[in-house]
């Protein structure tokens, strides 16, 4: 049954586009209402289509210990968004992530991914293929039309995961996460990239390189008290 209860929130998040324009947004809430992503830079995801109407898009943001993501399938997509397998790349190292039903902190293999119309908030994100490493996550999936007929909206998903949990499974401390890229191979080959919280000296170079190929987001650093 569809559930629209808010399951995760973040405070105000400062992001910047590749052009350096600061956009201050309100709180992000993982609840299946996607208007709070308005104003965040978008990365186009496509299989090299010349028709802009065939493009999917994705967005990322970081607030505190949480990495937030939002992906939208185009309205011409004639099937459900395949959300089971994703990949996250941190500093050039790639790891698989699954979105599945959860029971007792593990994947509940007895339940399938929803396909009927509605908004679902009972899914979770898991690290790797084993299904036992839940990432302190929240997920909201919206299926606007189970038939995906003419004039229907494409599926939409938003999620959050814990960077400290991610660090436990990857061995990469959050302070050393220079760039983070997430992509869904069923949507297209392009990933969505965000600069993490790394203070390593090569971070500036990495940001410049990523900005050439797509959209880079990063948090405004707090000034240290004297």
* Alpha-carbon dihedral sign for residues 116, 109, 129, 34: positive
Model pLDDT, residue 26: 54
Residues 6+ apart with CB under 8 A from 20: none
Q: Cα(179)–Cα(157) distance, rounded to whole angstroms?
A: 22
Model confidence pLDDT, tens digit, residues 133-150: 999 999 999 999 888 777
What share of residues in the chain are helix, strand, coil (percent, to 5)? Answer: 15, 35, 55
- What's the residue count for the chain? 226
Model pLDDT, residue 79: 81
Q: Which one has a higher pLDDT value, 154 or 19? A: 154
Evaluate if residue 222 carries a pLDDT over 60.
no
Whole-prediction pTM: 0.76
Model confidence pLDDT, tens digit, residues 163-194: 999 999 999 999 999 999 999 998 888 899 99
């Amino acid at each position: 049954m569809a559930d629209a209860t808010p399951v995760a929130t973040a405070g105000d998040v400062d992001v910047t586009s590749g052009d350096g324009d600061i956009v201050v947004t309100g709180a992000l809430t993982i609840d299946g209402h996607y208007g709070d992503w308005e104003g965040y830079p978008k990365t186009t995801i496509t299989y090299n289509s010349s028709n802009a109407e065939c493009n999917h898009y994705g967005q990322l943001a970081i607030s505190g210990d949480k990495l937030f993501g939002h992906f939208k399938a185009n309205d011409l997509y004639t099937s459900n968004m395949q959300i089971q397998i994703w990949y996250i790349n941190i500093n050039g190292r790639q790891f698989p992530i699954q979105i599945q039903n959860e029971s007792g902190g593990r994947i509940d293999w007895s339940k399938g991914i929803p396909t009927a119309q509605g908004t679902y908030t009972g899914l979770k994100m898991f690290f790797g293929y084993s299904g036992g490493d839940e990432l302190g996550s929240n997920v909201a999936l919206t299926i606007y039309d189970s038939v995906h007929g003419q004039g229907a909206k494409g599926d939409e998903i938003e999620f959050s995961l814990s960077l400290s949990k991610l660090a436990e499974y990857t061995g990469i401390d959050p302070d050393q996460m220079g760039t983070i890229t997430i992509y869904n191979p069923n949507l297209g080959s392009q990933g969505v990239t965000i600069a993490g919280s790394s203070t390593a000296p090569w971070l500036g170079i990495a940001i410049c390189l990523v900005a050439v190929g797509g959209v880079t987001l990063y948090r405004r650093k707090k000034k240290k008290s004297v």
